[in-house]
Chain A
Amino acid sequence: QVQLQESGPGLVKPSETLSLTCGVSGYSISSGYYWGWIRQPPGKGLEWVGSIFHTGTTYYNSSLKSQVTISVDTSKNQISLRLKSVTAADAAVYFCVRHRYYYFMDVWGKGTTVAVS
Chain B
Amino acid sequence: EIVLTQSPGTLSLFPGERATLSCRASQTVTNSYLAWYQQKPGQAPRLLIHGASSRATGIPDRFSGSGSGTDFTLTISRLEPEDFAIYYCQHYGTSSYSFGQGTKLE
B 37-70 to A, binary, CB cutoff 8 A, 1 in contact else 0: 1000001111100100000100000000000000
A18-61 at interface with B (beta carbon < 8 Å): 45-48, 59, 61
Could you say which of A7-15, A70-78, A101-109 contacts chain B?
A: A101-109
The reply to whether the CB of B92 lies closer than 8 angstroms to some CB of chain A is: yes
A23 to B13, CA, bound (A): 39
Q: How many B residues touch the partner, as a band?
A: 20 to 34
Number of cross-chain contacts by CB at 8 Å: 50
Chain B residues within an 8 Å CB radius of A66: none
Majority secondary structure of chain A interface residues (helix, strand, loop or mixed): loop
A 81-117 to B, binary, CB cutoff 8 A, 1 in contact else 0: 0000000000000010001001111101111000000
Chain B residues within an 8 Å CB radius of A46: 37, 45, 88, 90, 99
Contacts from A to B (Cβ < 8 Å) = 45-48, 59, 61-62, 95, 99, 102-106, 108-111
